[in-house]
């Protein structure tokens, strides 16, 4: 029972973000008595009171780039990305860190809050101005935004993060167009992928870090972008030209396009699929070839895209699906995509109710498939790319500290940079980044990895550290 309540309140979190974002937006264009403001106040009141009833207290807090509802991080929803980003911006502008509803609210309470917000926009000290006006409220409390330490790498990180999210929403858009039968052409996708290629070339590890964060809604679109990024990065290690990397990025992005024809009930089924459902799922390579061939303008790129969509589950030894009587070997791009696809699917939890595997464990499983399912030579390059300890792996150090792999170091793949998250007694600490290449005065390494640890046991939220 308690669990149900928990799920319920979290499902309302996005709703709360949307309604607040709408309120913040409407008060900036309309007068407080305007019907749009009044109706947005009413909507917000209904929702918050419902939530207060469920949880007693509803605290919406902005920490870094994320909103938390009663300490649970709210999943970024691509569909409402605009509202998420808008509300984040407004909170920051006003110096606001949290809004807590600790009792049911009336229209008058919310009108008071709305007026306070409006006045804060024209105040020199917006946060103090809001708090002063709300000080005697018996149902709404406000908190100040926490200052984050400025870090010089933050700008680049922010840029990579934005590019990643815009790639996902772009992909979602194109896939939906394809699904609805619109004739898309690959030109725009080519432009989008070309910038992804640039980012991978300049910031390989940062971009790879984005693919390590898996707890998003809309698995299919994140998966497509992840497979594209991983394939580009692998292609780069193989020395492919930029033109080839763009082609590879495109074919990888659309490898699962055939899944758009799989009914949503099957695609998003939270429990294991039945045999019949698997049969339908296994049609996606054939359906993929058909949707690609329906795209506008048939050229080399569309043909390559169709080929990979068709071949990516055939396996290196051609014993996968679809089964062909006289199959030729898998194309190079298909073999690359198979590897990235396997890795991303295994380390994600949203596929067919499977639990996510730790990245290093996924690599071990993949090594067992070298020569059968996966191309053994390409796999070697892949292991070199993601490292023996891929980004996001939780590791125990010889100092007894606990760390998360932050990025890999080309010179020595067993000595990545690590975010220290717990001290030698296991206490959570304010995390900081160290390089395992660091040595002490005796020329010995300060820290080394002794083993990997199952991150799921520690309730660690990777996104919090890597974004």
Is the CB of 68 or the CB of 352 nearer to Fe ion?
352
Q: Which of residues 423-442 bind Fe ion (CB under 5 A)?
A: none
Is the CB of 341 or the CB of 360 nearer to Fe ion?
341
Q: At what angle do helices 2-29 and 107-121 cross, to 10 degrees?
A: 50
Is the CB of 366 or the CB of 404 nearer to Fe ion?
366
Is the CB of 320 or the CB of 416 nearer to Fe ion?
320
CA distance 277 to 220: 17
Instruction: Report the residue from 90, 256, 311, 375 that binds Fe ion according to the rule CB under 5 A.
Output: 256
Stretch that binds Fe ion, among 248-256, 260-268, 362-370, 375-383 (CB under 5 A): 248-256
DSSP codes joined into one string, 30-81: S-TTSHHHHHHHHHHHHHHHHHHHHHS-EEEEEETTEEEETTEEPPP-GGGH
| Closest distance to Fe ion from the beta carbon of 42 (Å) | 44
Stretch that binds Fe ion, among 1-9, 249-257, 363-371, 429-437 (CB under 5 A): 249-257
What is the chain's percent helix, strand, coil content, to nearest 5? Answer: 55, 10, 35
Task: Kindly write out the interface string for residues 308-347 of this chain, putting x where it contacts Fe ion by CB under 5 A and - elsewhere.
Answer: ---------------------------------x------
| Closest distance to Fe ion from the beta carbon of 223 (Å) | 6
Stretch that binds Fe ion, among 41-49, 120-128, 255-263, 451-459 (CB under 5 A): 255-263
| Closest distance to Fe ion from the beta carbon of 340 (Å) | 9
| Closest distance to Fe ion from the beta carbon of 227 (Å) | 6
| Closest distance to Fe ion from the beta carbon of 456 (Å) | 23
CA distance 445 to 438: 6
Q: Which of residues 126-165 bind Fe ion (CB under 5 A)?
A: none
**Which structure tokens are listed for 37?**
């403001």
CB neighbour list of residue 307: distance below 8 Å, 6 or more residues apart: 251, 289, 331, 333, 334
| Closest distance to Fe ion from the beta carbon of 226 (Å) | 9
Stretch that binds Fe ion, among 159-167, 168-176, 250-258, 439-447 (CB under 5 A): 250-258
**Which structure tokens are listed for 188?**
């725009």
CA distance 292 to 302: 7
Is the CB of 204 or the CB of 341 nearer to Fe ion?
341
CB atoms within 10 A of CB 70: 17
Stretch that binds Fe ion, among 21-29, 131-139, 148-156, 251-259 (CB under 5 A): 251-259
Is the CB of 120 or the CB of 262 nearer to Fe ion?
262
Is the CB of 61 or the CB of 341 nearer to Fe ion?
341
| Closest distance to Fe ion from the beta carbon of 189 (Å) | 17
Asked if residues 68 and 23 have their Cβ atoms less than 8 Å apart, the reply is: no
Is the CB of 204 or the CB of 256 nearer to Fe ion?
256
Is the CB of 90 or the CB of 256 nearer to Fe ion?
256
| Closest distance to Fe ion from the beta carbon of 313 (Å) | 6
CA distance 185 to 295: 6
CB atoms within 10 A of CB 186: 20
Is the CB of 256 or the CB of 375 nearer to Fe ion?
256
Asked if residues 416 and 408 have their Cβ atoms less than 8 Å apart, the reply is: yes
CB neighbour list of residue 391: distance below 8 Å, 6 or more residues apart: 205, 208, 209, 212, 359, 405, 406, 407, 408, 416, 466
Count the residues of the shown chain that bind Fe ion, applying the rule CB under 5 A.
Answer: 2
Tokens 């991983």, residue located: 230
Stretch that binds Fe ion, among 93-101, 183-191, 254-262, 331-339 (CB under 5 A): 254-262
| CA–centroid distance for 27 within its chain | 31
| Closest distance to Fe ion from the beta carbon of 249 (Å) | 15
CA distance 419 to 361: 20
| Closest distance to Fe ion from the beta carbon of 246 (Å) | 20
Name the residues that contact Fe ion, by CB under 5 A. 256, 341
């Amino acid at each position: 029972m308690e669990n149900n309540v928990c799920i319920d309140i979290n499902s309302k979190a996005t709703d709360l973000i949307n309604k607040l974002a709408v309120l913040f937006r409407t008060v900036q264009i309309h007068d407080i008595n305007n019907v749009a403001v009044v109706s947005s106040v009413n909507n917000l009141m209904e929702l918050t009171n419902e939530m207060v009833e469920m949880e007693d207290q509803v605290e919406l807090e902005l920490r870094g780039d994320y909103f938390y509802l009663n300490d649970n991080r709210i999943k970024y929803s691509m569909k409402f990305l605009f509202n998420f980003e808008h509300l984040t911006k407004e909170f920051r502008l006003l110096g606001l860190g949290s809004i807590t509803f600790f009792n049911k609210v009336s229209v008058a309470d919310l009108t008071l809050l709305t007026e306070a917000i409006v006045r804060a926009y024209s105040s020199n000290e917006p946060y103090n101005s809001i708090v002063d006006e709300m000080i005697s409220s018996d149902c709404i409390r406000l908190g100040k935004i926490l200052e984050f330490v400025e870090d010089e790498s933050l700008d680049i990180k922010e840029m990579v993060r934005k590019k990643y999210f815009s790639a996902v929403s772009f992909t979602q858009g194109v896939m939906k167009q394809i699904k609805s039968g619109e004739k898309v052409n690959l030109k725009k996708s080519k432009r989008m992928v070309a910038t992804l290629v640039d980012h991978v070339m300049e910031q390989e590890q940062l971009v790879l870090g984005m693919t390590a964060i898996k707890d998003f809604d809309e698995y299919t679109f994140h998966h497509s972008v992840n497979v594209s990024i991983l394939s580009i990065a692998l292609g780069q290690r193989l020395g492919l030209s930029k033109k080839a990397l763009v082609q590879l990025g495109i074919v990888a992005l659309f490898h699962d396009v055939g899944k758009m024809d799989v009914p949503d009930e099957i695609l998003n089924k939270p429990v294991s699929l039945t045999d019949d459902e698997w049969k339908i799922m296994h049609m996606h390579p054939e359906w993929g070839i058909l949707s690609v061939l329906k795209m506008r303008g048939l050229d080399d790129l569309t043909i390559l895209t169709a080929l990979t969509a068709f071949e990516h589950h055939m396996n290196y030894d051609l014993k996968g699906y679809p089964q062909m009587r006289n199959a030729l070997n898998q194309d190079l791009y298909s073999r690359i995509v198979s590897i990235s696809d396997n890795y991303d699917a295994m380390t994600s939890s949203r596929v067919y109710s499977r639990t996510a595997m730790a990245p290093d464990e996924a690599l071990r499983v993949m090594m067992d498939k070298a020569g059968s399912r996966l191309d053994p030579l390409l796999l070697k390059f892949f292991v070199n790319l993601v490292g023996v300890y891929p980004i996001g792996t939780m590791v125990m150090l010889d100092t007894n500290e606990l760390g998360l792999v932050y990025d890999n170091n080309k010179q020595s793949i067993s000595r990545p940079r690590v975010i220290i998250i717990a001290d030698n007694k296991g206490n959570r600490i304010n995390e900081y980044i160290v390089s395992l290449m660091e040595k002490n005065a005796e020329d010995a390494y300060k820290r080394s990895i002794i083993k990997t640890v199952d991150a799921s046991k520690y309730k660690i939220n990777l996104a919090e550290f890597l974004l």
